[in-house]
Amino acid sequence: MLVRLLNERARVACEIGRIKKDLGMEVYQPEREKQVLQHVRGIAAEGPLGPDAIARLFERIIDEARRLERRVIHGDGD
Amino acid sequence: MVVVMQERATEAQIEQVVKRLVEMGMDVHRSTGVTRTVLGAVGQGTPDAGLIEMLDGVHEVLRISSPYKLASKTFKQEPTVITVGDVRIGGDEVIVMAGPCSAESEQQVRSAAAAVRRAGAKIFRGGAFKPRSSPYSFQGLGEEGLRMLRDAAKAENLVLVTEVMDLSQIELIEQYADIFQVGARNMQNFTLLRELGHARKPVLLKRGISATIEEWLLSSEYVLSGGNNDVILCERGIRTFETATRNTFDISAIPVVKKLSHLPIIADPSHGAGRRDMVAPMARAAVAAGADGLIIEVHCDPDHALSDGAQSMFPAQFDRLMAELRIIAPAIGRSICLEPVARRGWGS
């Protein structure tokens, strides 16, 4: 389930990569990354993982999304 | 590479580093810690660590891959064995190269070649172009010296290694020698190294007197990237604060290079020690440490040698050393001069 959702998110990231390419935008959007992390921190408050751990997990998810977007924009592989 | 940010690095500074790494084509893995943030950058390129280090908020940059490629074990796992005639450098046999520092006369070269051959050397060394510290010292005999060395090597069935000091000498030396030697002073003569990359003979690359092992391997990369795969590395001592010996012979370079590179490495205890009485112990230690060969200065009359007399061994000392090496080599699973060799004085 979790893996399926992550892949769904990755597909969206690829789509965003294409849009960024069309608009001539940079892959790395620090403001947007900050918003995503703030958002997940906010909704993670009750669980045992807590906001810090959730933010660390999302940093990795964002790293992978950035990698995919870079591949879409610059067309280079791994 | 791994970029460690300073404890008080601001978000803006971290963003700036991520931005630069992404621009350099790297994938960035950000790890935000309690006190500091660490950025892991992976990718195919080799970004300039210096450029990242200069950015605000960066504490340190750690490289995790070596800057040399072709010389590294990552590129080629199995050791490189270089074949010259019937001599194999980098195989099980420890190959000894010996001879005078420079060619001085027909007779001196002949007698040295005969002496080293009898003791079990496979390769004859000798210089015709000498890079001396002082312009007033003996500079070598030039082409006449090359001819003498070639004739003597041929007469004794030895492979010949001699130093090339300059681009302009390559063509001439190639006609006489089997192996090009690049001296310590020329280790970073990149135009010479690049040209030797196109030569079809092996290159014996000495370590510069103040070169790190990484710089030395990068120099070998110049030859390898030109298409010449036959590079033999040679440790010859480095400059330190110690004055008891001419140089400090860095024996640890042998296992370090063996770990990092597939290229054969030999040792030059003559220059490493700079004193005749210290050559044998350093030579024994180098073989015990895993050197693929040795290059040693031997002169029949070292007290009257025109160069490096103080560090040249007498033939009898060289004989004794070879006998000792024949005991040491098998202890680490290697051999040295398999053919039976006549003792000094027998039929000579």
The pLDDT tens digits of the residues spanning B72-97 come to 998 888 999 999 999 999 999 999 99
Question: Does residue B343 have a pLDDT over 60?
Answer: no
CB neighbour burial string for B232-243, b if at least 16 within 10 angstroms, e if fewer? bbbbbbbeeeee
Q: Do both B57 and B91 map to the same domain?
A: no
Distance CA B348, CA B346 (A): 5
Question: Does residue B347 have a pLDDT over 60?
Answer: no
Around B319, how many Cα atoms within 13 Å sit in the side-chain half-sphere?
Answer: 14
pLDDT, position B136: 85
Q: Which of B72-76, B187-191, B339-343 has the lowest mean pLDDT?
A: B339-343
pLDDT, position B338: 62
Amino acid letter for position B253 = A
CB B192 within 8 A of CB B131: no
> What is the residue range of B289's domain?
82-336
Residue showing tokens 């280090």: B53
Domain presence at residue B139: yes
Q: What is the pLDDT of residues B315-329, one digit of tens each?
A: 999 999 999 999 999
Q: pTM value?
A: 0.79
For chain B, what percent of residues have pLDDT higher than 70? 97
Q: Do both B42 and B89 map to the same domain?
A: no
Are the beta carbons of A76 and B11 separated by less than 8 Å?
Answer: no
pLDDT, position B107: 95
pLDDT, position B341: 52
ipTM passes above 0.85: no
Domain presence at residue B317: yes
- Which chain B residues touch A28 with a CB distance below 8 Å? 15, 18-19, 22
Q: Return the structure tokens found at B182.
A: 């690049």
pLDDT, position B310: 87
- Per-residue DSSP letter, B197: T
Q: Return the structure tokens found at B150.
A: 């070639």
Domain extent listing, chain A: 2-74
Domain presence at residue B323: yes
Give the SS3 label for residue B99.
strand
Q: What is the pLDDT of residues B141-179, one digit of tens each?
A: 999 999 999 999 999 999 999 999 999 999 999 999 999
Higher pLDDT, B30 or B160: B160
Q: How many C-beta atoms lie closer than 10 Å to residue B23's C-beta?
A: 12
Question: Does residue A78 have a pLDDT over 70?
Answer: no
Q: Do both B160 and B249 map to the same domain?
A: yes
CATH number of the domain located at residue range(s) A2-74 in this protein: 1.20.59.10
Q: Do both B244 and B211 map to the same domain?
A: yes
Q: Do both B58 and B86 map to the same domain?
A: no
For chain B, what percent of residues have pLDDT higher than 90? 76
pLDDT, position B33: 81
Q: Do both B90 and B48 map to the same domain?
A: no
pLDDT, position B63: 83
What is the mean predicted confidence (pLDDT) over B202-206?
Answer: 98
Are the beta carbons of A70 and B29 separated by less than 8 Å?
Answer: no
Choosing from B11, B33, B62, the residue where a domain stops is B62
Q: CATH number of the domain at B92, please.
A: 3.20.20.70
Question: Does residue B26 have a pLDDT over 90?
Answer: no
Are the beta carbons of A30 and B15 separated by less than 8 Å?
Answer: yes
Q: Do both B267 and B311 map to the same domain?
A: yes
Which among B214, B140, B120, B137 is positioned nearest to B181, based on CA atoms?
B140
Q: How many domains does chain B have?
A: 2
CB B324 within 8 A of CB B284: yes
Q: Do both B199 and B56 map to the same domain?
A: no
Question: Does residue B51 have a pLDDT over 50?
Answer: yes
Q: Do both B154 and B11 map to the same domain?
A: no
Over chain B, what is the mean pLDDT?
92
Are the beta carbons of B25 and A74 separated by less than 8 Å?
Answer: yes
Domain presence at residue B38: yes
- The CA distance from B53 to the nearest CA of chain A, in Å, is 20
pLDDT, position B344: 44
Domain presence at residue B343: no
Q: Do both B244 and B118 map to the same domain?
A: yes
Q: What is the pLDDT of residues A3-19, one digit of tens each?
A: 999 999 999 999 999 99
H-only helix segments in chain B: 11-23, 49-53, 106-119, 143-155, 170-176, 190-196, 213-225, 253-260, 269-273, 276-288, 315-331
By Cβ distance, the residue of B11, B25, B28 closest to A63 is B28
Most confident by average pLDDT, A23-37, B59-73, B178-192: B178-192
Are the beta carbons of B19 and A60 separated by less than 8 Å?
Answer: no
pLDDT, position B339: 60
Q: What is the pLDDT of residues A27-40, one digit of tens each?
A: 899 999 999 999 99
Q: Do both B187 and B253 map to the same domain?
A: yes
pLDDT, position B134: 86
Q: Do both B36 and B88 map to the same domain?
A: no
Chain A, 47 to 76: residues with Cβ < 8 Å from chain B are 55-56, 59-60, 62-63, 66-67, 70, 74, 76
